[in-house]
A = this chain, B = another copy of it.
Amino acid sequence: MISEASQPVHPIRTGIVGLGRSGWNIHAKTLAALPKHFRVSAVTDPESERCLEARQGLGCRIYNDFAEIINDDALDLIVIASPNHLHTDQAIQAMAAGKHVVCEKPFALSIEDADRAIAAAEAYDRVLSPFQHRRYESHFLKVQEIIESGALGRIVQVRMVWHQFTRRWDWQTLRRFGGGLLNNNGSHLMDHALQLLPPDVEPDVCADLKQVLTLGDTEDHIKIVMKAEGCPTLDVELSNAVAYPQDRWLIKGDRGGLRGTPEHLQWRTMDWDALPPRRLETAAATGREYSKDDITWTEHTWSPPADEPSAYERYYQDLYTTIRTGQPLAIQPQSVRRLIRVLERCYEQCDVMPASPTSL
């Protein structure tokens, strides 16, 4: 057996479709920082200036359109960072052309599309890797670790919020591009939430989607409550209309709780066994006081290590291993299928309310 260290490293030759906020700022820059494992060999974007910038910065080939780039035989992998409504079809076409695929979130806008993409990956025997890289975020991994340790006891509810106060007027606010806050940041936050349920659980969903400040025609205020028997209730809120943003995390367990942000978590734990035993008392309460224990908390905090790799890097390192060694994908499209189903149900459940006059 040849040790990994002695194996020659062949960078995966990658083509990027779309050089916008994600294609350039996230994918191109992350891949350029991993030169042993990836090489950006080609790009395409409707904006010629962006292509020239990529050629100059990365020394890559330029293609005029999607059909050209997926037919470049020298590419192993296509990164799809185009607008959302193109994701599924482009992913399928790229796999049909023999390429592995990284597909920006959401990798499908309906469960039907998700199933088409998954079937194509099987039919063409290609890697289909939805870009749910936030599963690698260290605050999220830490929260999972704390929950699984049992330190907080039985988890009753997890509240996750992503609050800001802002209006937007770009393509992500338009339905015809598959926009909307739920498809965008919602794909990440809802994916995090669903990861806190057992893999086979499909929760009951109660969704409230509203259009408040966006100039487009999609929701920019979202509240979703998900319930499943024996599981923590998930309370997820994304909104661009919150003047007083709350922290990302609030977790309620029967032995403690957690709150915090991606940059700082704090949690407190307690021990019921250290308290006096109690029994039900239906007689008149002594001193007319509420029954109450004197609880002692143990406090804990965490911040991410300064030198750790980003979630983007972790994602791409694992993807490299999968493509080169055949090791199963860390983020299976099947595991994201449940997310797509929930997003679809939220949209089915709500007519997005009309924009307020103040945003016009």
Contact = CB atoms under 8 A, between A and B. Distances in A.
A291 interface: yes
A256 interface: yes
A325 interface: no
A189 to B, nearest CB: 16
Interface string A62-87: 00000000000000000000000000
B223 A170 contact: no
Interface in A323-360: 353, 356, 358-359
A222 to B, nearest CB: 10
Contacts of A297: 243
Nearest to A292: B166
Copies held by the complex: 2
Interface in A141-157: 153-154, 156-157
A285 B19 CA distance: 11
Interface stretch (A6-14, A113-121, A207-215): A207-215
A112 interface: no
A170 B221 contact: no
B24 A215 contact: no
A83 B156 CA distance: 28
A201 interface: no
Contact of A244 (B168, B259, B285): B259
Contact of A168 (B24, B284, B290): B290
Interface string A223-250: 1010100100101000101111010001
Nearest to A250: B244
Contacts of A359: 254, 272
A213 B285 contact: no
A165 B257 contact: yes
A33 interface: no
A316 to B, nearest CB: 20
A200 B225 CA distance: 26
A244 B257 contact: yes
A262 interface: no
Contact of A252 (B25, B221, B227, B284): B221
Contacts of A210: 156, 233
Interface string A149-182: 0000110110000000111111101100100000
Contacts of A246: 246, 250
Q: Which A-B residue pairs are the 4 nearest by beta carbons?
A: A243-B257, A206-B206, A244-B259, A272-B358
Given A242-B252, A254-B359, 7 more contacts: A21-B289, A50-B284, A154-B212, A156-B239, A157-B208, A157-B223, A166-B290
8 contacts: A25-B288, A168-B290, A169-B278, A170-B282, A170-B285, A242-B250, A243-B270, A254-B356
Interface of A: 20-21, 24-25, 45-47, 50, 153-154, 156-157, 165-171, 173-174, 177, 206, 208, 210, 212-213, 215-216, 221, 223, 225, 227, 230, 233, 235, 239, 241-244, 246, 250, 252-259, 267-268, 270, 272, 278-282, 284-285, 288-293, 295, 297, 353, 356, 358-359
